[in-house]
A and B are shown apart, each in its own frame.
Chain A
């Protein structure tokens, strides 16, 4: 079953070859009419789902709009989008005064570090677990699965103690390790599942060519795992981009290392909240993720196609 799937080009690519597909069918009037109806049906679907989607995203569009309003306008304007007057200086306040430029840099570094670490370590572990029998394999798997459901809310306490012991507290390295080190069981299991289904011929061919263990993994297996990696990247991205507690604790004495999520805190004061600044800050931290998703979404599809060709 795996192989059948593997030979199946992705649907999006297929779509572009539409004419080729229709050739298989005799061109007859009723079918053509059916297609026309179907096209209308699709537009109707788009309309319905689109309306739902708009409703779905409206609150966040409102945040985007709020980032251009002043605080009173946010509250008195109800859910209207257009500001009474434009206040782009909210962004200036967030970017410069609240140091979101620095926070952005930190967040990008920390997220990138976490992603690299998670992908590499989970792929390596998933690979050997999937393709080799070795002593302790079952134990490793059992421990991984068992810890999936443990509530992690309190882990921050021992993690801080441990990091302090190792001299990793207050360092970005320590923070990356803490974010990427724990959990991520799902990522390991994703790789296990993927690698256990890669046809053995690929590996054998590489070995025949004289490739060693490392070469087989890095040159053959890891590149094949594109789609899983994309998924893992997205999941890791989500968890580390918005992670709050660990970055908070790891930047107590080093405020210049703070991340966007922690920096957001600065807008909520004792007696007042700078809602407009907060909205601007939220928009700043949201836009990169949306872009990344739009990009990776394409990668999902092409990744499969690529994996299939090899």
Chain B
């Protein structure tokens, strides 16, 4: 390693001076197909908070198998491009997180990902939690869920000191939209000029907020993923964005702005910046997922004791939301030459020790709900996760019913303005007639889906709009693997 720079430098000067460039100046082993250094297994993900959980896992794996894991963490903003460019140049690592923007079914179809062989113990542990079309394809296991699907991004996080200053009991956070607005008014009166901060510039996160709020207002959804083209009305199979519940959710967010409760800077903040603004005491409320506790604990430890959390505010005060079965996070590259080792690595992901380590990383909640009992985590994180366990339901997923739905969604072109654009446009005052805009968006999505269905069926897919309809499903229910 020490000598590499010198060799590199010589090569550069040789190249610069005369340009007889051959491939002689490789400063390290050629990557080629996903096998990096002779000894190591390449692993890319975008979960920087999982460092310690994964490091422990990798150490154990190296002890067992004798293969080191070289992990690269990407910023989620560049993960997608990195994967695309890597795939284009045949450089995918052995393991990666699916940030392609394409549903898993598409990756399976084109051979980007390969099935893995899990240990018997792991298979037994996963019974009942693997879904065809999500984790298994043609009965073969491709990935394992490590996170619970019982989560959302719209927990209410509050700064208790500001609440107390407004004469409010911080242990008792507002559960309805009206309470929330009333409390904001009190906060303004007590000197917190702008009680609520939101990541308005972060369109993915705002979509999640909106969907969570619409669900809490009674919208029943069938979902593939948690945002974008994969969200449909469970009962009709249509795109739901102009429904009453969505309009109410829009109206709630909008009222927070028109009443002046939103920190003005919100319009240009992403979630990371909004969190810090909230943690520094500029605003009292911030909607975020359970990982908020983990980030606070890591960066703003002293602030933790002033933080309170409750479920998303909702019209009825129950704050029920739903998410489809959790995706698997890690996938094995189709051209990996270490599939066997990856299988062993994935088996380790299913063990309860890993779930505990995962819980202790305080990111998304672990798939195994019991892990929390044995994990040493601040009460705030446990509380957030338990709230989610109680109030997040399992939404039906059309992909589970018919994996070809994934291909349809992959085939659909982006419609701009998309939901995120519309949220930004409406909350920012660029869209006046919201109903009209949303109806148009629904229509364009439907047309695009019809086209995509035709394309997929022409290729022998066998999909129909019926696959999106779950008439019997009611919001607030769990749609289990046996219900399909």
Binding site for B on A (CB under 8 A): 71-72, 75-76, 105-106, 109-110, 112-113, 116-117, 120-121, 156-157, 160-161, 163-164, 166-173, 176-177, 180, 248-249, 252-257, 265-266, 268-275
Contact = CB atoms under 8 A, between A and B. Distances in A.
B272 A160 contact: no
5 contacts: A72-B299, A105-B5, A106-B5, A176-B12, A253-B30
B8 interface: yes
Contact of B28 (A112, A164, A256): A256
A245 B228 CA distance: 27
Given A254-B27, A255-B72, A269 B85 contact: no
A157 B89 CA distance: 9
Contacts of B74: 265
A68 B9 CA distance: 33
Say which size band chain B's interface belongs to.
35 or more
- By DSSP majority rule, is chain A's interface helix, strand, loop, or mixed? helix
Given A171-B25, A173-B21, A75 B277 contact: yes
Interface string B5-44: 1001101110111010101111111111010100000100
B459 interface: no
A72 B276 contact: yes
Given A112-B12, A268-B75, A272-B272, A72 B23 contact: no
A157 B30 CA distance: 19
Q: Which of A112, A269, A271 has the most chain B CB atoms inside 10 A of its CB?
A: A271
Contacts of B81: 248
A168 B75 contact: no
B396 to A, nearest CB: 27
Contacts of A252: 31, 82, 85-86, 89, 91, 93
B280 A254 contact: no
B280 A75 contact: yes
Given A176-B12, A271-B363, A170 B26 contact: yes
Interface stretch (B290-298, B399-407, B469-477): B290-298
Contacts of A255: 70, 72
Given A72-B279, A173-B21, A253-B31, A270 B89 contact: no
B111 interface: no
A265 B78 contact: yes
A72 B272 contact: no
Given A173-B25, A248-B85, A269-B73, 16 more contacts: A75-B276, A116-B16, A167-B30, A169-B31, A169-B89, A171-B30, A172-B27, A176-B15, A176-B16, A254-B29, A254-B36, A257-B27, A265-B75, A270-B46, A270-B48, A271-B271
Contact of A272 (B15, B70, B78, B295): B295
Going nearest first, the 10 A-B pairs with the smallest beta carbon separation are: A253-B31, A113-B12, A116-B16, A269-B48, A173-B25, A167-B23, A76-B280, A117-B16, A272-B295, A268-B75
Nearest to B11: A173
Contacts of B30: 167, 170-171, 253
